Amino acid sequence: MKTPGNMQSMMKQAQQMQARMQEEIAKIRVEGSAGGGMVIVNMDGNKNLLSVKIDPEAATDLEMLQDMILAAFNDGMKKVEQESQSKLGGMLGGLGLPPGLF
C-alpha cells in the first residue's frame, strides 16, 4: 500500500512528464505537400498552420488549388500525428504502460 507522500511524489512526476511532453510536441515542425510540391504547408506540433506556399501555376485552376491546399493540410496533420506519437512513444516507453495506450 502506498503512502500519501508517495502518491504526491508520483503525481508531481506525472505533471513534470506531461509538461516535458507538451514542450517536445510544441517543438515539432512538419511540412505537408500536394500536387508534387505545388502547395506546401508548414505546421507545428500543436497543429497550427505556420505558412502556406503556392506555386503560381497552381492558381490557374481555383477548384484544383482548393483541393491541393486541403490535401497539403491533411498531409501535414498526418505528419504531426506521426511525429507526436513517435516522441510520446519514446518518452513513455520506459514506463511499462500497455501498448497503444498513448
Q: 3-class secondary structure for 50-99?
A: EEEEECHHHHHCHHHHHHHHHHHHHHHHHHHHHHHHHHHHHHHHHHCCCC
The tally of domains found in the chain comes to 1
- Whether residue 92 has pLDDT greater than 70: no
Answer whether residue 21 is part of any domain: no
pLDDT of residue 13: 87
Task: Tell the residue number behind the cell numbers 497550427, with chain if given.
Answer: 48
How many CA atoms does the CB half-sphere of 30 hold within 13 Å?
A: 25
Answer whether residue 73 is part of any domain: yes
CATH number at residue 47: 3.30.1310.10
Q: What is the pLDDT of residues 15-69, one digit of tens each?
A: 988 899 999 999 999 999 999 999 999 999 999 999 999 999 999 999 999 999 9
Is the pTM for the entire model greater than 0.85? no
pLDDT of residue 98: 57
Structural domain of residue 31, as residue ranges?
Answer: 27-85
